[in-house]
């Protein structure tokens, strides 16, 4: 996947996260034809190191035993590399989890140690972080995630 596609995919995340359903057809066309720049991915890498690596690992490896609850009952931070499940989620879900926190997406009183980063990072910065994460995945995982995003867009139209 080209860098432009990553950036414009992340723009789609912002639209989904903000509920701009009316703008979706225009954004979907931009996503299909786009490329993220190396500058955006580099920014995302820097922001990831600053805001995410403490919990999710410097190499996106997540916390130890991330599938088993902590003594608090909360789940450890999952990996964002190909060994985790981040790539199973569509762009809109990833953006909303990052911006608002997992509890906003999971619902049902779910509690997480991860807060939303919407007051810490701009939407553009969140998209850059997600672009960086996605840039590390092997082609198979990127294709799967792109398909999840395509399906997400279809349900929003």
Cβ count within 10 A of residue 116: 18
Q: What is the pTM of this model?
A: 0.76
pLDDT for the residue numbered 14: 44
What the chain holds in terms of domains, given with CATH numbers, is 3-156 (1.10.760.10)
Query: Residue 76: which residues within 8 A CB-CB, separation 6 or more?
Result: 62, 63, 64, 65, 66, 68, 70
Average pLDDT, the chain: 83
Comparing 16 with 71, which gets the higher pLDDT? 71
User: Per residue in 86-105, pLDDT tens?
Assistant: 999 999 999 999 999 999 99
Give the whole-number percent of the chain exceeding pLDDT 70: 77
């Amino acid at each position: 996947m080209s860098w432009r596609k990553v950036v414009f995919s992340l723009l789609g995340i912002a639209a989904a996260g903000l509920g701009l359903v009316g703008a979706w057809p225009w954004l979907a066309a931009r996503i299909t034809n786009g490329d993220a720049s190396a500058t955006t991915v580099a920014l995302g890498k820097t922001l990831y190191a600053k805001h995410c690596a403490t919990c999710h690992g410097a190499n996106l490896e997540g916390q130890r035993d991330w599938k088993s609850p902590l003594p608090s009952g909360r789940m450890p931070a999952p990996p964002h590399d190909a060994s985790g499940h981040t790539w199973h989620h569509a762009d809109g879900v990833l953006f909303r989890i990052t911006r608002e926190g997992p509890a906003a997406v999971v619902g049902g009183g779910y509690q997480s140690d991860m807060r939303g980063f919407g007051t810490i990072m701009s939407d553009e910065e969140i998209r850059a972080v997600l672009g960086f994460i996605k840039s590390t995945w092997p082609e198979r995982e990127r294709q799967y995630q792109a398909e999840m995003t395509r399906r997400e867009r279809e349900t929003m139209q």
